[in-house]
Structure formats: structure tokens, C-alpha cells
Amino acid sequence: MQLHIPQVLTADQLGHFQTRLDQADWQDGRITAGYQSAQAKQNRQLRESDPLAIELGGIVEAAVLGHPTFFSAALPRHIYPPLFNRYGIGEQFDYHVDNAVRYDRRRQPPLPVRTDLSCTLFLSEPDSYDGGGLVIRDRYGTHTVKLPAGDLLLYPATSLHKVEPVTRGARTACFFWLQSMVRQDSQRELLFELDVNIQTLTAQDHADPAVLLNLTGIYHNLLRQWVGE
């Protein structure tokens, strides 16, 4: 499931991010890539240990965990610390699949995080740069995504994806991965659709309380069955 989640960051947060990142110490983006990905990657990135990356990453993590749509769709168990990248003119990241496991070194010993879902939080307005689309291949075809600044795309980390070459301006984004409580994408999608419909019924004055109670029970019993260890 691919899901566009709008306005994850407020306008004030977004302005703060853009100002701070314009003055950031950008490094070669291959510092976090595996061997094969490094061959396809041309961009700049903040070091994971950069105080700015840690500060802004904490804001992103709090924002997504407090966002009801994100939480309902992702059912996060562990979030890998958010990272930040920038693509200038001529920079790109060709097709690749994200590493299956990453180690959260905020924990000691480092915590292995299975990357079930990938997240891209756009920080540049789409009309401020040309190219730079996030292209995702999945079983339904190929999709190119450029979202408004502050909006997030959630998608399976198993997807083959790339960032197209930037031909004007600069594309700045935050990206991260998470391990979900529910490993299977198809199960998460069913739970999300059920939760959305329960919330829709709850908002209706004429909704039958008995039906809502039954649907809520079904949701939690499925969640209980599908949550992994």
C-alpha cells in the first residue's frame, strides 16, 4: 500500500526545517548506502550523528507518532532515526531496494530494525525544482510522486524505487524506515481500511452502536492475531 499523508509538519515547523537545512553541513550521500546502492547514488546527506539531523529527526518522529492516519496505516513498532538528504542539479538515486535490516545505534546494544515500510517526507515545494520525482515500482505498475512540502509518502520497503535526476533547483527530504507491529502489507492494508470505516461511522449521528461495537471487536481481534512477536 502506498499512502499520501498530507501536512505531517505544520507551516511553522516546515519553515524552521527549511531555514536550518539551508545552512546544514551536507556530506556525500553514499555514507549510508550499501555496496550496490552506492553505485547508483548521487546526492548529499546529513551524517546520522549530526546534531541538526538528531534535532530535526526527533521533531519528525514525534510528528508521525502523533499523526492518527500515519499510526493507523503503519502500526509502528520501531522507527529508525529519520535521515535527511538533498539532490542538486544532476544528482539522482537510480533503482534500488532498501536494506532489509538497519541497526538503531541510539540503543545499546544496537537494535535491529526490520524495514517493513519506507517513508519520504518532502521538504521542498514541488515547483521549486524540476525532476527529482520519487519513482516506485510495485505489483500495480510504476508511480512517480512529487508531494507538497510537509507531506509524507508511506510505502512498502520491498518496492523497487528511485529518485529521478534533478534538473533545476534542489530537492530536500527527510526519509526513514520502520518496523511495523504487523509484518504483512496486505494485513496492514485491511486493518487500515477497517479502521478508516470505523472512524467514518463513529462520526455519523445515525450510526448503530451495536454495529460499531462489532466492527471494533473485529479490528482488535484481527490485530491481536496478526501482531508479530
Q: For the segment 188-205, what is each residue's pLDDT rounded down to a tens digit?
A: 999 999 999 999 999 998
98 is in an annotated binding site: yes
Of the three residues 180, 198, 214, the one that is the final residue of a domain is: 180
pLDDT mean across residues, the chain: 95
67 is in an annotated binding site: no
Residue 174's beta-bridge partner residues? 84, 121
| pTM beyond 0.85 | yes
Burial of residue 12, with CB atoms counted within 10 A of its CB: 0-12 exposed, 13-18 middle, 19 or more buried: exposed
96 is in an annotated binding site: yes
Q: Which residues lie below 8 Å from residue 61, measured CB to CB, with a gap of 6+?
A: 79, 81, 82, 176
For residues 78 and 21, membership in a common domain is answered with yes
For residues 86 and 125, membership in a common domain is answered with yes
Whose cell is 510495485? That residue is 138
| Contact yes or no for 77/179 (Cβ under 8 A) | yes
Q: Which of 189, 130, 193, 187 is nearest to 163 (CA)?
A: 130
Residue 69: predicted pLDDT: 97
Residue 32 clears pLDDT 70, i.e. is over it: no
- What pLDDT digit, counting tens, does each position of 119-169 carry? 999 999 999 999 999 999 988 899 999 999 999 999 999 999 999 999 999
For residues 165 and 199, membership in a common domain is answered with no
The span from the CA of 51 to the CA of 198, in Å, is 41
Count how many domains the chain has.
Answer: 2
Residue 140: predicted pLDDT: 83
Domain that holds residue 210: 185-226
138 is in an annotated binding site: no
